[in-house]
Amino acid sequence: MTRQTTRLRFLISSLVLGLVAALGILYLIVEAVTIQEPALAGLRWPIYVSILIGTIPWFMSVKPFMQLLTLVDKGEAYSIRTLGLLKLIRLLFASTAIYLFFGFFWLVHVTGGHPGLLLILFAGEVVLWFVVALIATLEKVFEQGIVFRVDTELTV
């Protein structure tokens, strides 16, 4: 089995490290906001912990991504297992997007709509829903590929 997906594995690992770094930077942003807005000082940890909870599905999605790449390396990309992994990844990202959406309303209520935090949430929502739509599209492409593969095998 040759590893055709080494670059993608490296990219996913880099994204995980980037997410960890982003969480560290986000902590500094939350600290700065709570210093500028003393009324929010008591919410520093609840805000940061709620953001950490929202990233749990992202970290959980690393394993299915790696399993998906293993299937590609084995030449089994067009299989039912691939569809299951894509669906799991899509649901994990959608759950993060939904969590962030409700967290958005909570944060607006608590902070009075601080522009810096709202910008972070809006950007996160857009990216998450784009990824969910992209994965859903990939699911449909792989479904059609599986149908085509089965029809080809039956013909031969």
- Mean per-residue pLDDT, 104-127: 76
Report the alpha-carbon distance of residue 15 to residue 29 in Å, rounded. Answer: 20
pLDDT of residue 2: 62
pLDDT of residue 28: 87
Residue 15 lies in a domain: yes
3 vs 137: which has the higher pLDDT: 137
pTM value > 0.75: yes
CA angle in degrees (0–180, nearest 5) for 56-139-123: 45
Residue 137 lies in a domain: yes
Measured in degrees and rounded to the nearest 5, phi and psi for residue 113 equal 80, 50
Report the alpha-carbon distance of residue 90 to residue 61 in Å, rounded. Answer: 9
- Mean per-residue pLDDT, 40-46: 78
- Mean per-residue pLDDT, 129-145: 94
Q: Please say if the pLDDT value at position 101 is more than 80.
A: yes
Domains: count for the chain: 1
Least confident piece of the model among 74-78, 80-84, 106-110, 146-150 = 106-110
Report the alpha-carbon distance of residue 3 to residue 75 in Å, rounded. Answer: 11
Report the alpha-carbon distance of residue 83 to residue 73 in Å, rounded. Answer: 16
Share of the chain above pLDDT 70, in %: 96
Residue 1 lies in a domain: no
Which residues constitute the domain of residue 84?
6-155
- The tokens describing 22, both together, are 């982003």
pLDDT of residue 62: 93
- Mean per-residue pLDDT, 11-26: 91
Report the alpha-carbon distance of residue 138 to residue 33 in Å, rounded. Answer: 39
Measured in degrees and rounded to the nearest 5, phi and psi for residue 63 equal -60, -50
Least confident piece of the model among 46-60, 99-113, 123-137 = 99-113
Q: What is residue 61's DSSP assignment?
A: T
Distance separating the N- and C-terminal Cα atoms of the chain: 25
Under 8 Å between Cβ of 94 and 77: no
